[in-house]
Chains A and B, each alone.
Chain A
Amino acid sequence: MPEDLTDESSGATVELAVGGAQPPRALVERQDLRDHLPGLEPDRRITDWGRSERVEGLVDRTLYDFLYHYWFRVEAEGVENVPGDGGALLVCNHGGALPPDGIMVAKAIRELHPRRRHVHLAVQRAFQQVPMLGMLLTKIGGVPAHPANIHRLLFDEQQLVLAFPEGRGATDKPLKERYRLRRFEDPTLIGAAVRARVPIVPVAVVGAEEAEPLFGRIRVLIRLPKLPVGPIVPLPAKFRIRFLEPISTDDLGATDEPLVRTLSEDIRALIQENVLELVAGRRSVWLG
Chain B
Amino acid sequence: MDSRRILITGLSSPIAGRLAQMLEREPAVQAIIGIDTHDPRHELEHTEFVRTDTRHGLLARIVRAASIDTVIDTRLLADPLSVSPRDAREINVLGTRGLLEACSGPDSSVRKLIFKSSSRWYGHEPDAPAFCDEEMPRLHRPRSAIEHQVVEAENLLASFAARNPRSAVTVLRAAAAIGAEADNAHAALLTLPIVPSVLGFDPRWQFIHEDDLVAALAHLARHRLAGTYNAAADGVLALSEIVSLLGKSLLPVLPPWGAGFAASQLRRLGLRVPVELVRELRFGQGVDNRRLKASGFRYRYTTREAVLQLRAHQRLRPLLRSGAEPYHYEPTVEEFLRWSPSVHRPPATDGNAHDASSPVPSYGDLSEEEVIAVAASLDAHGLEQLRRYEAAHLSRAAVLTALDRRLGRER
Contact = CB atoms under 8 A, between A and B. Distances in A.
Interface string B146-172: 000000001101110110000011010
B162 A18 contact: yes
A126 B349 CA distance: 59
A149 B202 contact: no
Interface stretch (A140-148, A234-242, A270-278): A140-148
Nearest to A28: B135
B131 interface: yes
Interface stretch (A2-10, A62-70, A92-100): A2-10
Contacts of A38: 234-235, 289, 302
Interface in B222-238: 223-228, 234-238
B227 A6 contact: yes
A138 B154 contact: no
Interface stretch (B15-23, B293-301, B310-318, B319-327): B293-301
A155 B107 CA distance: 47
B127 interface: yes
Interface in B199-214: 199-202, 204
A17 B202 contact: no
B137 A25 contact: yes
Contacts of A143: 130
Interface string A17-46: 111000001001011010111110101111
B188 to A, nearest CB: 24
A48 B286 contact: yes
A36 B291 CA distance: 8
Query: Which DSSP category, helix, strand, loop or mixed, fits chain B's interface?
Result: loop
Contact of B293 (A36, A131, A152): A36
B266 to A, nearest CB: 19
A39 B289 CA distance: 13
Interface residues on A, range: 35 or more
A246 B288 CA distance: 30
A132 interface: yes
Indicate the member of A28, A44, A132 with the most B CB atoms within 10 Å: A44
B223 A33 contact: no
Contact of B201 (A9, A39, A45, A131): A131
A30 B396 CA distance: 25
B135 A16 contact: yes
B225 A6 contact: yes
B226 A146 contact: no
A39 B223 contact: no
Given A18-B162, A41-B235, A131-B201, A2 B223 contact: yes
B136 interface: yes
Interface of B: 126-131, 133-137, 154-155, 157-159, 161-162, 168-169, 171, 198-202, 204, 223-228, 234-238, 241, 256-257, 282-283, 286, 288-291, 293-296, 302, 304, 396
Interface of A: 1-3, 5-7, 9-14, 16-19, 25, 28, 30-31, 33, 35-39, 41, 43-46, 48-50, 52, 125-126, 128-129, 131-132, 134-135, 138-139, 143-144, 146, 148-149, 152, 221
Given A33-B290, A36-B290, 8 more contacts: A6-B227, A17-B158, A19-B158, A41-B302, A50-B236, A125-B127, A128-B127, A135-B200
